[in-house]
Amino acid sequence: MAYEAQFYPGATSVAENRRKHMSGKVEKLREISDDDLTIILGHRVPGTDYPSTHPPLAEMGEPECSIREMVEPTDGAKAGDRIRYVQFVDSMYNAPSTPYFRSYNAAIKFRGVDPGTLSGRQVVEARERDMEELAKFQLETEMTCPALANLRGASVHGHSLRLQEDGVMFDMLERVRLENGTIIVQKDQVGRPIDKKVDLGKPMSEEEAAKRTTIYRVDNVPYREDKEVLEWVHRVFEKRTMYGYKPAVQE
């Protein structure tokens, strides 16, 4: 009998969305071209080769290593790509994802990535082309609403502030704007103006965002309504605190 991974407990829409983000089984909502992705990341000029930090692995003649033979290197590692990052910021007002669930998605679905989770931001460092694969996945799917999530490599704060009058998350550097009903990127992730504006498509309606969010809120899906989640949180707390994660130990 094949084992089926269990990612998260709960019977609410929030719990189901958390399972989807962790498993990677999310709906694709938009298309972002490779050049547009490169523009908004801001690490290199679109159409140029990936800069490298070492020759391709096939040319390096490394010594024999059983672990190296067991683990297939990522495409970025094979090519010798340099390490680059993508950093997401998600609104607290029913944004589809959160820093922790972006990290879960990165660590479970992708290889060779280094996710970092903070209270209001989530950064992934990886070989450049591997990082771009992850960034494209998360931007194109239901993990992201272009009005409620931004790429911010600098001046990231504002996710906890109220939304602007047009429903777009506040950004002191104004990297995105709502124009004719769609979200337009006018600066890259560190706030540098870009020559070609990038269209990320329509933002989610309030109703759709509330349906797709992974955030428990008293004005949407209250945390205390998800009884199975509470049960497992209490169970993990008890096992960790009283037994050091040793279930065989009894009181």
> What are the residue ranges of helices labelled H in the chain?
13-23, 34-41, 66-70, 75-79, 99-109, 128-140, 206-212, 227-243
Q: What is the pTM of this model?
A: 0.92
At a CB cut-off of 8 Å and minimum separation 6, what does 24 contact? Answer: 105, 108, 109, 137
Q: Is the pLDDT of residue 2 over 90?
A: no
For residue 204, the number of C-alpha atoms closer than 13 Å in the C-beta half-sphere is: 24
168-199 in b/e form (b: 16+ CB < 10 A) is bbebebebbbbeeeebbbbbbbbbeeeeeebe
Instruction: Work out the end-to-end distance of the chain between its first and last CA atoms, rounded to an integer number of angstroms.
Output: 35
In one-letter notation, the amino acid at residue 99 is: P
- Which tens digits make up the pLDDT trace of 195-207? 999 999 999 999 9
Q: Is the pLDDT of residue 102 over 90?
A: yes
pLDDT-derived band of residue 241, with 50, 70 and 90 as boundaries?
Answer: confident
In one-letter notation, the amino acid at residue 186 is: Q
Q: Is the pLDDT of residue 247 over 80?
A: no
With tokens 């399972």, the residue in question is 19
In angstroms, the Cα distances linking 69 to 61, 64, 65 are 13, 8, 6
Partners of 114 in beta bridges: 125
> What integer pLDDT is reported at residue 242 of this predicted model?
78
Long-range contacts of 16-25 (CB under 8 A, 24+ apart): 17/96, 17/212, 17/213, 17/214, 18/101, 18/214, 20/142, 21/97, 21/101, 21/102, 21/104, 21/105, 21/143, 21/214, 22/101, 22/104, 22/105, 22/108, 23/108, 23/109, 24/105, 24/108, 24/109, 24/137
Q: Is the pLDDT of residue 250 over 70?
A: no
Indicate the helix (H) or strand (E) that contains 85. strand 83-90
Residue 171 has which token pair? 């950004």
| Residue 109: Cβ within 10 Å count | 18
What mean pLDDT is reported for the chain?
Answer: 94
